[in-house]
């Protein structure tokens, strides 16, 4: 029996865990214990994902949220360590690049438990991003590095990881596994398109601190979206924190703002939109999965293959560039048949690798 403690805490990790946990459940040799740190705690960003995606409810919920990076990571480290001492797993599995990720990896490594990092090797090369720090440190102390792309594998080799006592495996992207699996469920269960009366629209999300906490950047992004909205309806699921900043700064919004949505609703918004505009790493890929061009509100991306193949263009946070890039990408016809992310087999590679160890 292989006991694995999986650490999750944020929306993208729930989606990834849904795909991997479903594959684990097919093998009686694997026992999974799920720990939810509580990093994303409101109903729309946590509980709803476990419910609608039929992920086994966490065995533990640390309920740690709303703190500074240091306090949050420290409390997670302490809480996870206690669970690991009790459960005594063979592996700890972490996803992505959040505070939950680095806390889980550190707790395991200090207890000499092997660390699996899913979505390893990604780099923005922007050390101002907390996520970049988390992913680099997590990769460095992991024992098995599952990489979604060739670029991710190469990043690790460039850092000398292939000379260390670790396994580097390109398995594809587990987010594509989830997207393909849940697309049919979303068609049955989501009513958001009908409820909002949407026809032709652009889907946008904004959440990164460099965009939401920098008022000049935020004003410029909103100006760009307002200009686009004069030509096509822009729909933005907006976190209450960002909405409060907009209200406080009296930044005028001319587009459609909706509450944060669950995964099935997001899938339907992706399937029906004309274009995606986002600063989210995950949504850049999900746009590709659902055959939509993407404008990214950042100056760099970890998903370089999307830019290199013309599916994604970086617009930063300048209003004029956002509007100009929107015009270009609305007209661009792309071939979405390329296999960039494993075509839905990423989780199978993870499980088969672990079973052979």
Active site residues: 207
First to last CA, the chain: 12
Q: Does residue 356 contact residue 187 with C-beta atoms inside 8 Å?
A: no
Torsion sign across C-alpha atoms 64, 67, 68, 71: negative
Torsion angle, CA of 146/356/90/58, rounded to 10 degrees?
60
Please tell me the distance from the alpha carbon of residue 28 to that of residue 218, in angstroms, as a whole number: 49
- Neighbour count for residue 351 (Cβ, 10 Å): 17
Torsion angle, CA of 95/113/5/144, rounded to 10 degrees?
40
Contacts of 166 (CB under 8 A, 6+ apart): 142, 143, 144, 145
Q: What are phi and psi of 95, to 5 degrees?
A: -120, 140
- Neighbour count for residue 64 (Cβ, 10 Å): 24
Q: Which long-range contacts (CB under 8 A, 24 or more apart) does 56-61 make?
A: 56/21, 56/25, 56/32, 58/8, 58/34, 59/33, 59/34, 59/35, 60/33, 60/34, 60/35, 60/36, 61/35, 61/36
Question: In Å, how far are 94, 97, 184 from 135, measured between CA atoms?
Answer: 10, 5, 32
């Amino acid at each position: 029996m292989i006991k694995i403690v999986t650490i999750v805490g944020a929306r993208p990790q729930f989606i990834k865990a849904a795909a991997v946990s479903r594959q684990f459940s097919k093998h009686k040799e694997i026992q999974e214990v799920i720990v939810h740190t509580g990093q994303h705690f409101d109903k729309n960003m946590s509980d709803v994902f476990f419910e609608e995606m039929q992920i086994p409810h966490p065995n533990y919920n640390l309920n740690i949220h709303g703190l500074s990076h240091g306090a949050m990571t420290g409390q997670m480290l302490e809480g996870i360590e206690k669970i690991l001492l009790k459960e005594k797993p063979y592996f700890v599995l972490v996803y992505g690049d959040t505070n939950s990720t680095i806390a889980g990896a550190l707790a395991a490594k200090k207890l000499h438990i092997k660390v699996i990092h899913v979505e390893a090797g990604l780099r923005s090369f922007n050390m101002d991003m907390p996520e970049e720090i988390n992913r680099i440190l997590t990769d460095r102390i992991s024992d098995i590095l599952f990489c979604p792309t060739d670029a991710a594998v190469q990043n690790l080799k460039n850092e000398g990881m292939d000379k260390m006592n670790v396994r580097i495996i390109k398995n594809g992207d587990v987010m594509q596994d989830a997207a393909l699996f849940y697309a049919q469920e979303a068609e049955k269960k989501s009513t958001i398109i009908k409820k909002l009366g949407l026809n032709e629209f652009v889907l946008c999300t904004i959440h990164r601190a460099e965009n939401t906490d920098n008022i000049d950047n935020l004003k410029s992004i909103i100006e760009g979206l307002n200009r686009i909205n004069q030509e096509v309806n822009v729909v933005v699921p907006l976190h209450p924190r960002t909405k409060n900043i907009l209200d406080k700064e009296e930044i005028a919004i001319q587009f459609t703002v909706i509450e944060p949505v669950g995964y099935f609703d997001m899938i339907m918004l992706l399937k029906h939109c004309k274009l995606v505009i986002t600063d989210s790493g995950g949504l850049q890929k999900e746009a590709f999965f659902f055959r939509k061009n993407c404008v990214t509100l950042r100056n760099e991306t970890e998903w370089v293959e999307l830019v290199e193949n013309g599916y994604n263009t970086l617009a930063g946070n300048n209003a004029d560039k956002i509007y100009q890039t929107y015009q270009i990408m609305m007209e661009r016809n792309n071939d979405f048949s390329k296999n960039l992310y494993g075509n839905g087999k990423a989780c199978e590679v993870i499980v088969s690798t672990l079973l052979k160890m």
